[in-house]
Amino acid sequence: MKRMKSLIFTYMFIGVSLSCTSTPSHEREAERPEVRTEETSLVESDSVAPAPDEQVLSDRTLPDTLVIAMCGDIMMGTTYPKTQLPANDGKNLFDDTKSITLGADLAVGNLEGCLLDGGRSRKGNGPNSYAFRMPTKYGVNLQDAGYDFMSLANNHSKDFYDEGILSSERILDGLGIEHCGVEGHKEYAIVERNGVKYGICAFGHNSYTIKHTDLKRVKGILDKLRPLCDILVVSFHGGAEGADRCHLPQGQETFLGENRGNLREFTHFAIDNGADVVYGHGPHVTRCVEVYKGRFIAYSLGNFCTPYGMSLTGIKGYAPVVEIKINGKGEFLSGKIHSFIQQKGIGPRKDTTNAVAKEMKRLSEDDIKNAVIKIDGEGNIRL
């Protein structure tokens, strides 16, 4: 199905109009998810009700099981400040992982940088200043790997000013890959696959993103999006960075003088207000996973496909694909941490030792008390 989708959007991009419909192979009557608000009564929302012409979903028949594949940071090589690009225009970056993302009903990630040819960087030359610019022709690699959504709510999507953001959006739009997360741009996206509507919103920590630290704003977006979709997915970029930041702390995280969020509070708040799946990125290392009130959270999926421009030493090279199965109400059923380790200039490659899954198992056992899930040494996640 994902391969067919890729071909369809390629033809759309060159001006051929196509349409297709599909019906889930396994159907059942599913109740609409309840919005869980018992812990958020102190946060008021200024959200606006959906306009009359927006489709508000009613009870519908949905598949028994839906599969979502989640990845972390994707920066497929850079042309700034010097050119560091993989061979074959990056067409082989996802060779080891794309069977998972192509096979999922929904595949999501974080575009860490911009898709742009040219432009001027807004970053300085300091030791903590990085700017990432991928060639626009590399966008098709995301389509070929089956990605449906890319978050732009991160601290690199505007490395080349608004020109970089607009170029990324234009390329993704042309490939049929949804996106959101930048202030003043799209607040949310809706992806429809096999008759199921997935609503997705994305939040970041820096000035031009829609901030996850603004819970009133978060609630407003969730309130608008929840009636428009069957499954609601939240992406966030947050947390302090570095190999020593793999543990999920209690309370607010600060990095380089910036508030990087209280991620336990934010993720639970999102689920209390209607989210079904929450996935994070930003620390450049993997973190724990959790099931809260029946909904799945991945706190950081690390550097996923960053062949140049970022350190891949040790755990910073751990590149999981987390694949989960949920029911039509968004409730977690089971999951799998697929282990990959990045190779410089090559991308994520199969980790036959399952070191990545074992690391995320250890972190989850350490950082989530009274957990309702168990993770085995091969990365299987079970209730």
* One-character DSSP codes across 46-107: -PPPPPTTSPPP-S-EE-S-EEEEEEEEE---B-SSS-B--GGGGTTTTTTTHHHHHHSSEE
Residue entry with tokens 């989960």: 324
Domains assigned to the chain: 65-382 (3.60.21.10)
Asked whether 201 and 188 are in contact (CB, 8 A), the reply is yes
pTM of the complete model: 0.88
Question: Residue 322, exposed/middle/buried by CB under 10 A (0-12, 13-18, 19+)?
Answer: buried
- Report how far residue 182's alpha carbon sits from residue 116's, in angstroms, rounded to the nearest whole number: 17
Asked whether 212 and 244 are in contact (CB, 8 A), the reply is no
Tell me the per-residue pLDDT of 94-116, one tens digit each, with 9 for 90 and over: 999 999 999 999 999 999 999 99
Torsion over CA: 143, 146, 148, 154 (sign): negative
Spatial neighbors of 340 by CB under 8 A, at least 6 apart, are: 96, 97, 318, 319, 320, 321, 348, 349, 350, 351, 356
- Report how far residue 330's alpha carbon sits from residue 345's, in angstroms, rounded to the nearest whole number: 37
Tell me the per-residue pLDDT of 301-356, one tens digit each, with 9 for 90 and over: 999 999 999 999 999 999 999 999 999 999 999 999 999 999 999 999 999 999 99
Residue 151: name the closest of 176, 115, 182 by CA.
Answer: 182
- Report how far residue 79's alpha carbon sits from residue 160's, in angstroms, rounded to the nearest whole number: 12
Question: Residue 101, exposed/middle/buried by CB under 10 A (0-12, 13-18, 19+)?
Answer: buried
User: Which residues are bridge partners to 345 per DSSP?
Assistant: none
Residues of the chain with pLDDT under 70: 1-59, 126-128
Torsion over CA: 290, 196, 191, 92 (sign): positive
Other beta carbons within 10 angstroms of residue 124's beta carbon come to 9
Residue entry with tokens 């706190």: 299
Asked whether 233 and 200 are in contact (CB, 8 A), the reply is yes
- Report how far residue 110's alpha carbon sits from residue 73's, in angstroms, rounded to the nearest whole number: 5
- Report how far residue 318's alpha carbon sits from residue 348's, in angstroms, rounded to the nearest whole number: 8
Residue 167: name the closest of 241, 123, 113, 216 by CA.
Answer: 113
Asked whether 364 and 288 are in contact (CB, 8 A), the reply is yes
Asked whether 90 and 144 are in contact (CB, 8 A), the reply is no
- Report how far residue 282's alpha carbon sits from residue 181's, in angstroms, rounded to the nearest whole number: 14
In this structure, what token pair is assigned to residue 315?
């755990």
**For 93, phi and psi rounded to 5 degrees?**
-55, -40
**DSSP-based three-state secondary structure for 111:** strand
- Report how far residue 160's alpha carbon sits from residue 173's, in angstroms, rounded to the nearest whole number: 19
- Report how far residue 73's alpha carbon sits from residue 301's, in angstroms, rounded to the nearest whole number: 8
